[in-house]
Chains A and B, each alone.
Chain A
Amino acid sequence: MDRAYQRTRILTNHLIPNSPAQTVCLTSNECLSYSPPELSEKYAFDVGEMRRLMDGHDVEERDRLFGLIIQSKLFNPRVRGGKVFVSPDYNQSMEQQREMTWKRIEYLSERGVFRGWMTGKGEDVEMKRFACFEVLGLFDHSISIKLGVHFFLWGGAIQFFGTKHHHDKWLRDTENYLIKGCFAMTELGHGSNVRGIETVTTYDSNTGEFIINTPCESAQKYWIGGAAKHATHTIVFSQLNINGTNEGVHALIAQIRDADGNVCPNIRIADCGHKIGLNGVDNGRIWFDNVRVPRENLLNSVADVSPDGKYLSSIKDPDQRFAAFLSPLTAGRVNIAVNAVYQSKVGLAIAIRYALTRRAFSLKANEPEVLLLDYPSHQRRLLPLLAKIYAMSFAANYLKMLYVKRTPQSNKTIHVVSSSFKATITWSNMQILQECREACGGQGLKTENRVGHLKAEHDVQSTFEGDNNILMQQVSKALFAEYVAAQKRNKVFKGLGLEHMNKPCPVIPSQLTSTTLRCSQFQMDALCLRERELLNRFVADVSQCLARGESKEHSFNTNYQLAEDLGKAFSDQAIFQTFVEAEATLAAGSLKDVLGMVRSLYALTCLEDVTYLRYGYLSVDNAAAVRGEITKLCSELRPHALALVSSFGIPDAFLSPIAFNWVDANSWSSVQH
């Protein structure tokens, strides 16, 4: 039967409960068969064009890399339901998974995928590198982390903290994997509070060497990706103690293994063991027993020690010096945020494709069962998340551009935006994957179907490279500082998207109509209103504490609830802004129309947040109007669901069997093969 007709009929019956059944079904026990959504769903816009908008750059490079993965046996291709799927064999032991991760990296290296990653310069190189990372992350989190540690942390540290002789000595070898780098910052006793690490480095002017030491068990380096098995070199973060003065945290290069993989003298390494995810990464622990390294191994762009043992630094303020050391973590945060967006895309593409082929329950006896996505409740579960990931996709593109166009002046903005986006997107990724897992029912539990397994693999994103809660507190603190600075100098707000604070406070109409709710100006006003009010309130409450003579730290700590709400308000508004900007680049047409609906759905979902009622930014009636409009938007976007997930540009091979012919993939004949 024609699918569109069938659906219309089901919906008609749904809306007019007493309409008589139009056909008498004679074969109620007919077997279920898989109907490909490609044949029944229509594309109202050019999905290729939407993909280019979403991916934003280097589409051809991405496709080549997808091809390199699909065409190699190393990436564990399996045929299910007549289609090839690639994904690591997570049933392998931890040791085997690590070996496979390394073999895949070798293959990609031989194919020239990393050419120019360390030695190349410019925005194009960096954007291409991001694109490759996104593609590799779609295959497996372990491979992207293993590469991320080597290129972005180890390589990035040398690029950012090193000077010419470090660049000349290490970058080309890093690019060609002649050495394998890792990044030893975190310790057992200190994670987010890097300034508290306990590893100590002293200088011996007699030999011109630094001596790195792990003085106590809590100072052992922990979670060091690559350290347990493969890495030959590491960046070590330690307190630099020169002539009895602690100059704060500095970074040095130390060799930890020889070329044959034997651990170097005075280095002890242990494994972090099996983890809930990322078992293809060999996380290790390192102890340094007075390890001696040449003076040149100090990464000296920020500070240096002269041969005779004098401490020299161009940055006098230890706070600023420390901030300079954390800059490579920004690239990591950008990568994490972007990677999380693509994981959500995988989850949503699978769950939505499944919902377009899986049926459950008939509305009336002898009628065909209803497609999951034709249930308003199922639409309500998945489509707002789809809208969210569209928004976050544009936000991720904006963040990448902000990063590659970085200047000394933009450092603060990058720090604040990357912190807030990293936290918001990774949290939302976990929420999206959980919803997608549940929307796939039991099938979501099978590792081969990816959705459920991705949760375990990406859970770590909410704490590494900055704990999300702490990052969000930093966002609120930065906004506070911005506010106080503007007040003090009696100047207008400029930067961090706070310019709206200079304008009069927007007014929400007392009765919100559908037209108003879908208007991007209204949506922007509503998001700015919340940010403004929360910032005012936060500043007022913190100032009150300060006036009572409490310390700044204590004042922030006690106002943590407002700080959380404010951080979220900032993120939502900033993300929405990137959506509006992406939409503005499009010419009028069906693509823009559909994207406009997606944007409205995203904005209204933000407006459903509890803060709007908690602080009274929306009346109860208006909150109900928002909720009603979301339901309407969901049903209007339902016909575009397949096109919207196809626009993610994720090849079929990177999704999973339930996203396609799951009947055939589970047939008896497939068992026999």
Chain B
Amino acid sequence: MASSVSSQQDKVLVEANSFARIITLNRPKQLNALSFQMISRLLELFLAYEEDPNVKLIILKGKGRAFSVGGDVATLVRDMRADDWRVGANFFSQVFKLIYLIATYSKPQVSILNGIVMGGGAGISVHGRFRVATENTSFAMPEAALGLFPDVAASYFLSRFPGFLGEYVGLTGSRLDGAEMLACGLATHFVPSAKLPLLEAALCDVDSSDPVIISSIIDQYSKQPSLKELSVYNRRLDVIDRCFSQRTVEEIISALEREDVHQSDSWISATIQTLKKSSPTSLKIFLRSIREGRLQGVGQCLVREYRMVSHVMQGELSKDFFEGCRATLLDKDKNPNWEPSKLELIDDARVDCYFCKVKHEEWEDLKLPNRSQFELPPYAIAKL
């Protein structure tokens, strides 16, 4: 028993360095996939550090080639099969509470994104004050291909990308590299990975929570990366704005098809193919989600996404999540049978259901942690 607790604790390492606390996700073989225990541990740490006057700064990083690929969905699906859907809902409730805490945290968090950042991995980092990308960073929100949808308040941060890039990234699961993340505001700094040890050491000398001071320290190790020549950010923003601003997923696809006729382009046809392979339900509910999220605070986004994800876990409206996990993570045949199988089979009324409360006696809306006792910094207040 004791050993299993400690082995779980090993998955999240903590290092105290004067006023900084370095938290390292330590599950490198699973690319730092976040288990329920890891999430709980992070929640515990963040809550404690906020009260602790000796902590002024939190550094979050991952061991190995990933920062984190997100929630440990394979385990989650197994646990839900053994028990029931509320295990899943409970998992997301913990994750979302952690994200709300991070998004409204009273002390600065520096996340060092030196590798893969996906889903929940993005959730525990991009909402913090500072996000450092490197040449190794690769960001994606691939949930729609898994029968889920970009959650972790993605409807908040993706919707705030320039133009309609957020719709594109969320619907297609396309990757962004470090330079692109910086360009769209997802990263606040770009630091070459070789300089990370120096950056970390410098941050550990800080005795202040003042974001201006911390930012200027990171600035010293930062450089302005150039976007790759083929970067969507360089070359596709116009097409993305024209197509992904359309009303519906169907209209987005036909807008892309019209573009494809004008200028035959492998990027456009690949984009269309990706959309057609993803769960139609996931695409539709995500599009609604990001459109609402654009106009909401981070808390409202999480409450809404929690309703959505609870419906997905409950599986009464669609079992696409389980099918997606089967095809991608378990059987790995990469050939999911989505149900409903086509976009046109999913009407607005069906989409609406995901945004309503779950009708189950033990289910309730997400209860966000109370933040009124802390004096929040302006950048956190702006997200409310």
**A residues in contact (CB < 8 Å) with B:** 2-3, 33-34, 36, 38-40, 60-61, 63-64, 66-68, 70-72, 81-83, 110-112, 651-653, 660-661, 663-664, 667, 669
Most buried by B among A67, A70, A667: A67
Q: How far, in Å, is B306 (CB) from chain A's closest CB?
A: 14
Q: Which residue of B lies closest to A664 (CB)?
A: B378
Given A36-B376, A71-B163, A651-B295, A111 and B381 contact (CB-CB distance below 8 Å):
no
Q: How far, in Å, is A301 (CB) from chain B's closest CB?
A: 34
Q: Which residue of B lies closest to A651 (CB)?
A: B295
Judge if B382 is at the interface, Cβ distance under 8 Å.
yes
Judge if B205 is at the interface, Cβ distance under 8 Å.
no
Total A-B pairs in contact (CB under 8 Å)? 74
Given A66-B294, A67-B294, A67-B295, A82 and B378 contact (CB-CB distance below 8 Å):
yes
Most buried by A among B246, B382, B384: B382
A2 & B373 in contact (Cβ 8 Å cutoff): yes
What separation, in Å, do the CA atoms of A660 and B379 have in the docked complex?
12
Residues of B within 8 A of A (CB-CB), count: 30
Among A3, A38, A67, A667, the residue within 8 A (CB) of B299 is A38
Known A64-B247, A71-B241, A82-B383; 9 more pairs at CB < 8 Å: A38-B297, A40-B372, A60-B288, A60-B348, A67-B291, A70-B295, A81-B382, A112-B247, A664-B382
Q: How far, in Å, is A6 (CB) from chain B's closest CB?
A: 11
- Cβ–Cβ < 8 Å partners of B384 in chain A: 36, 38-39
- Cβ–Cβ < 8 Å partners of A83 in chain B: 382
Main secondary structure of the interface of B (DSSP, over half): loop
A661 & B288 in contact (Cβ 8 Å cutoff): no
Could you list 7 examples of A-B contacts with CB < 8 Å? A40-B372, A63-B291, A70-B294, A72-B163, A81-B382, A112-B246, A664-B381
Interface residues of B in 350-384 (CB under 8 A from A): 370-373, 375-376, 378-379, 381-384
B291 & A82 in contact (Cβ 8 Å cutoff): no
Most buried by A among B294, B297, B383: B294
Most buried by B among A3, A61, A82: A82
- Cβ–Cβ < 8 Å partners of B378 in chain A: 34, 81-82, 661, 663-664, 667
Main secondary structure of the interface of A (DSSP, over half): helix
Given A82-B378, A111-B245, A63 and B372 contact (CB-CB distance below 8 Å):
no
B379 & A82 in contact (Cβ 8 Å cutoff): yes
- Cβ–Cβ < 8 Å partners of A664 in chain B: 378, 381-382
Q: Which residue of A lies closest to B166 (CB)?
A: A71
- Cβ–Cβ < 8 Å partners of B315 in chain A: none
A71 & B381 in contact (Cβ 8 Å cutoff): no
- Cβ–Cβ < 8 Å partners of A72 in chain B: 163
What separation, in Å, do the CA atoms of A653 and B292 have in the docked complex?
14
Interface residues of B in 141-162 (CB under 8 A from A): 159, 162
- Cβ–Cβ < 8 Å partners of A669 in chain B: 212
What separation, in Å, do the CA atoms of A63 and B242 have in the docked complex?
17
5 closest cross-chain pairs (CB), A and B: A82-B382, A664-B378, A651-B295, A39-B372, A38-B384
Q: Which residue of B lies closest to A71 (CB)?
A: B163
What separation, in Å, do the CA atoms of A66 and B294 have in the docked complex?
9
- Cβ–Cβ < 8 Å partners of A652 in chain B: 295, 297
Among A36, A61, A68, the residue within 8 A (CB) of B381 is A36
Q: Which residue of B lies closest to A111 (CB)?
A: B245
- Cβ–Cβ < 8 Å partners of B373 in chain A: 2
- Cβ–Cβ < 8 Å partners of A653 in chain B: 295
What separation, in Å, do the CA atoms of A457 and B53 have in the docked complex?
51
Given A82-B382, A664-B381, A68 and B291 contact (CB-CB distance below 8 Å):
no
A71 & B291 in contact (Cβ 8 Å cutoff): no
Most buried by B among A39, A60, A111, A112: A39
- Cβ–Cβ < 8 Å partners of A71 in chain B: 162-164, 241, 245, 294
- Cβ–Cβ < 8 Å partners of A660 in chain B: 381-382
- Cβ–Cβ < 8 Å partners of A3 in chain B: 372
Q: Which residue of B lies closest to A667 (CB)?
A: B378
Q: Which residue of A lies closest to B382 (CB)?
A: A82
- Cβ–Cβ < 8 Å partners of A667 in chain B: 378
What separation, in Å, do the CA atoms of A83 and B381 have in the docked complex?
9
Q: Which residue of B lies closest to A653 (CB)?
A: B295
Q: How far, in Å, is A507 (CB) from chain B's closest CB?
A: 46
What separation, in Å, do the CA atoms of A34 and B376 have in the docked complex?
9
Q: How far, in Å, is B221 (CB) from chain A's closest CB?
A: 22
Among A39, A40, A60, A111, the residue within 8 A (CB) of B291 is A60
A82 & B294 in contact (Cβ 8 Å cutoff): no
Q: Which residue of B lies closest to A70 (CB)?
A: B294
What separation, in Å, do the CA atoms of A60 and B352 have in the docked complex?
11
A34 & B288 in contact (Cβ 8 Å cutoff): no
- Cβ–Cβ < 8 Å partners of A60 in chain B: 288, 291, 348
B292 & A63 in contact (Cβ 8 Å cutoff): yes
B295 & A63 in contact (Cβ 8 Å cutoff): yes
What separation, in Å, do the CA atoms of A417 and B212 have in the docked complex?
58
What separation, in Å, do the CA atoms of A303 and B151 have in the docked complex?
61
B372 & A2 in contact (Cβ 8 Å cutoff): yes
What separation, in Å, do the CA atoms of A601 and B79 have in the docked complex?
54
What separation, in Å, do the CA atoms of A646 and B242 have in the docked complex?
31
What separation, in Å, do the CA atoms of A667 and B384 have in the docked complex?
19
A34 & B291 in contact (Cβ 8 Å cutoff): no
- Cβ–Cβ < 8 Å partners of A81 in chain B: 378, 382
Q: Which residue of B lies closest to A1 (CB)?
A: B373
B375 & A33 in contact (Cβ 8 Å cutoff): yes
Q: Which residue of A lies closest to B374 (CB)?
A: A39
What separation, in Å, do the CA atoms of A72 and B238 have in the docked complex?
12
- Cβ–Cβ < 8 Å partners of B383 in chain A: 82
- Cβ–Cβ < 8 Å partners of B348 in chain A: 60
What separation, in Å, do the CA atoms of A440 and B142 have in the docked complex?
46
Given A39-B372, A82-B379, A660-B382, A68 and B288 contact (CB-CB distance below 8 Å):
no
B247 & A34 in contact (Cβ 8 Å cutoff): no
What separation, in Å, do the CA atoms of A67 and B246 have in the docked complex?
11
What separation, in Å, do the CA atoms of A355 and B246 have in the docked complex?
38
What separation, in Å, do the CA atoms of A99 and B115 have in the docked complex?
46
- Cβ–Cβ < 8 Å partners of A661 in chain B: 378, 381-382
Q: How far, in Å, is A664 (CB) from chain B's closest CB?
A: 4
- Cβ–Cβ < 8 Å partners of A61 in chain B: 247
What separation, in Å, do the CA atoms of A33 and B212 have in the docked complex?
18
B381 & A34 in contact (Cβ 8 Å cutoff): yes
Q: How far, in Å, is B295 (CB) from chain A's closest CB?
A: 4
- Cβ–Cβ < 8 Å partners of B376 in chain A: 36, 39
Q: How far, in Å, is A394 (CB) from chain B's closest CB?
A: 23
Q: How far, in Å, is B363 (CB) from chain A's closest CB?
A: 16
Q: How far, in Å, is A417 (CB) from chain B's closest CB?
A: 31
Given A60-B288, A82-B378, A660-B382, A39 and B371 contact (CB-CB distance below 8 Å):
yes
Among B247, B288, B299, B381, the residue within 8 A (CB) of A82 is B381
What separation, in Å, do the CA atoms of A557 and B294 have in the docked complex?
54
- Cβ–Cβ < 8 Å partners of A651 in chain B: 294-295
What separation, in Å, do the CA atoms of A64 and B252 have in the docked complex?
13
Interface residues of B in 83-113 (CB under 8 A from A): none
Q: How far, in Å, is B238 (CB) from chain A's closest CB?
A: 11
Q: How far, in Å, is B383 (CB) from chain A's closest CB?
A: 8
- Cβ–Cβ < 8 Å partners of A663 in chain B: 378
What separation, in Å, do the CA atoms of A64 and B297 have in the docked complex?
17
- Cβ–Cβ < 8 Å partners of B295 in chain A: 63, 66-67, 70, 651-653
What separation, in Å, do the CA atoms of A66 and B291 have in the docked complex?
9
Q: Which residue of A lies closest to B295 (CB)?
A: A651
What separation, in Å, do the CA atoms of A68 and B167 have in the docked complex?
12
What separation, in Å, do the CA atoms of A651 and B348 have in the docked complex?
23
What separation, in Å, do the CA atoms of A651 and B163 have in the docked complex?
17
- Cβ–Cβ < 8 Å partners of B245 in chain A: 67-68, 71, 111
What separation, in Å, do the CA atoms of A509 and B299 have in the docked complex?
49
- Cβ–Cβ < 8 Å partners of B371 in chain A: 39
Q: How far, in Å, is A69 (CB) from chain B's closest CB?
A: 10
Q: Which residue of B lies closest to A650 (CB)?
A: B295
What separation, in Å, do the CA atoms of A40 and B372 have in the docked complex?
6
Q: How far, in Å, is A575 (CB) from chain B's closest CB?
A: 29
What separation, in Å, do the CA atoms of A61 and B379 have in the docked complex?
30
Interface residues of B in 244-271 (CB under 8 A from A): 245-247
